[in-house]
């Protein structure tokens, strides 16, 4: 009998323990598993995407825990792994975050007490109704004797729904992150593809989801501006359903890979892409008028709607800004079991799942 040494090592070293990043979006469950390729460099081991039934997740809330759980289980089986430890994320809107300053001399238990008393000021719910966590970011810029601490709180039911859906699918959640932080972890990999790794440049990360487009504008990983606009891929799905009398699943299939009717590109797809480009241009205008900045050097497109062929070119033309698709895996080694071309195609929709999978490499 052969002994799997890597499995034995991973019991004693949590950093080597396999971890799957699981993103529950409004339309699909996405999973990414990264392995250590040596020297702390990640390798893409496996990934899978499984569509969710319509309205199983609405506005980030699990409307049907059973439907989500079944989808998680199908996705995990498709992934073909033995790993059951997972990292999940809460929607950014479901989490209250606040930076506070505390004395650096506090021990962890004293800090917990202090964080709880501070949290009372910022959280509009009773503390017994929330999950509260905090992380020391580092020394406070204004005072050498203090540290900056990031406080995060969410209603307990938001956390419990996601944990329940995973546990019914027989998986073990060990990390609960926030979607925006997971995206930022993956975004740091994407910027490595830009000239000078994006240093000193203003970059707009545009995430076009099913129901909304989230625009985050950053410089050297510091957020300058963020905005959400009510525009998303579900508008294209609705238009396909209306034009061809299709159900939601048929329409989604047509968007992804189906053989489109003759007038689809000219009458439905191109107007949708043009609208998306206009939404991005409008968001940039809002940024210019509400901040001292008057230029953006790069646009990075992410989210399910970024998978539509030709989107980056048209957004780039309409905004006159260099536009690329988000691919956090571009610099990584890839397992031979993965089709590299398919991964590159799906990559813009996998930012949250990738960012969660990276938690395995946290110090």
- Is residue 147 domain-shared with residue 209, that is, in the same domain? no
User: Is position 29 within any domain?
Assistant: no
User: Token digits for 101?
Assistant: 């300053």
**Tens-digit pLDDT profile for residues 94-151:** 999 888 999 999 998 999 999 988 888 888 888 889 999 988 888 998 888 999 998 8
- Given its phi and psi angles, is residue 129 left (phi above 0), alpha (psi -120 to 50 degrees) or beta? alpha
Nearest to 59 by CA among 158, 183, 132, 142: 158
Predicted pLDDT of residue 363: 56
Cα separation, 338 vs 46, in Å, equals 7
- Is residue 205 domain-shared with residue 107, that is, in the same domain? no
Predicted pLDDT of residue 7: 39
User: Is position 320 within any domain?
Assistant: yes
**Tens-digit pLDDT profile for residues 32-73:** 999 998 887 899 999 999 999 988 999 889 999 999 999 999
- Is residue 210 domain-shared with residue 320, that is, in the same domain? yes
- Is residue 132 domain-shared with residue 249, that is, in the same domain? no
Cα separation, 284 vs 281, in Å, equals 5
User: Could you tell me the sign of the dihedral formed by the alpha carbons of 211, 327, 185, 282, in that order?
Assistant: negative
- Is residue 140 domain-shared with residue 215, that is, in the same domain? no
CATH number at residue 310: 3.30.420.40
- Is residue 152 domain-shared with residue 234, that is, in the same domain? no
List C-alpha distances in Å: 341 to 327, 329, 345, 351: 12, 12, 6, 17
**Tens-digit pLDDT profile for residues 160-219:** 999 999 999 999 999 999 999 899 999 999 999 999 999 999 999 999 999 899 999 999
Predicted pLDDT of residue 200: 96
User: Is position 166 within any domain?
Assistant: no
**Tens-digit pLDDT profile for residues 314-335:** 999 999 999 999 999 998 999 9
Predicted pLDDT of residue 256: 76
- Is residue 319 domain-shared with residue 208, that is, in the same domain? yes
- Is residue 228 domain-shared with residue 310, that is, in the same domain? yes
pLDDT tops 90 at residue 361 = no
Q: Show the domain range for 102.
A: 94-157
- Is residue 140 domain-shared with residue 257, that is, in the same domain? no
Q: What is the count of structural domains for the chain?
A: 2
User: Is position 344 within any domain?
Assistant: no
- Is residue 215 domain-shared with residue 320, that is, in the same domain? yes
CATH number at residue 107: 3.30.1490.300
User: Is position 208 within any domain?
Assistant: yes
Nearest to 183 by CA among 51, 301, 35: 301
User: Is position 180 within any domain?
Assistant: no
- Is residue 139 domain-shared with residue 229, that is, in the same domain? no
User: Is position 360 within any domain?
Assistant: no
Cβ-proximal residues to 56 (8 Å cutoff; 6+ apart), any chain: 62, 63, 64, 67, 68, 71
User: Is position 87 within any domain?
Assistant: no
Q: How confident is the model at residue 15 (pLDDT cuts 50, 70, 90)?
A: low
- Is residue 128 domain-shared with residue 205, that is, in the same domain? no
């Amino acid at each position: 009998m052969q002994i799997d040494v890597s499995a034995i090592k991973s019991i004693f070293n949590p950093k080597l323990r396999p971890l799957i990043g699981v993103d529950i979006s409004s339309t699909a469950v996405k999973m990414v598993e990264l392995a250590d390729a040596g020297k702390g460099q990640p390798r893409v081991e496996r990934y899978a995407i499984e569509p969710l039934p319509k309205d199983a997740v609405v506005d980030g809330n699990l409307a049907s825990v059973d439907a989500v759980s079944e989808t998680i289980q199908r996705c995990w089986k498709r992934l073909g792994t033995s790993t059951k430890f997972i990292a999940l994320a809460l929607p950014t809107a479901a989490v209250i975050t606040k930076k506070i300053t505390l004395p650096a001399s506090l021990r962890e238990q004293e800090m917990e007490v202090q964080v709880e008393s501070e949290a009372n000021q910022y959280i509009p719910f009773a503390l017994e109704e929330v999950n509260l966590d905090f992380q020391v970011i580092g020394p406070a810029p204004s005072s050498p004797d203090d540290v900056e601490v990031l406080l995060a709180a969410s209603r307990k039911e938001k956390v419990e729904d996601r944990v329940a859906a995973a546990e019914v699918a027989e998986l073990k959640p060990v990390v609960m992150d926030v979607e925006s932080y997971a995206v930022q972890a993956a975004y740091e990999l994407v910027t490595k593809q830009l000239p000078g790794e994006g240093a000193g440049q203003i970059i707009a990360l545009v995430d076009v989801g099913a129901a909304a487009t989230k625009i985050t504008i950053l410089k050297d990983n510091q957020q300058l501006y963020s905005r959400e606009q009510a525009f998303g891929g579900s508008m294209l799905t609705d238009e396909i359903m209306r034009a061809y009398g299709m159900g939601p699943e048929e329409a989604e299939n047509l968007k992804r890979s189906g053989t489109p009717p003759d007038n689809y590109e000219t009458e439905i797809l191109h107007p949708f892409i043009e609208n998306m480009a206009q939404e991005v241009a409008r968001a940039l205008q809002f940024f210019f008028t509400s901040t001292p900045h008057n230029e953006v050097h790069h646009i990075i497109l992410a989210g399910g709607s970024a998978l539509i062929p030709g989107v980056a070119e048209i957004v780039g033309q309409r905004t006159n800004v260099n536009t690329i698709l988000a691919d956090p895996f571009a610099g990584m080694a890839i397992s031979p079991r993965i089709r590299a071309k398919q991964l590159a195609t799906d990559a813009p929709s996998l930012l949250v799942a990738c960012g969660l999978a990276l938690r395995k490499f946290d110090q």
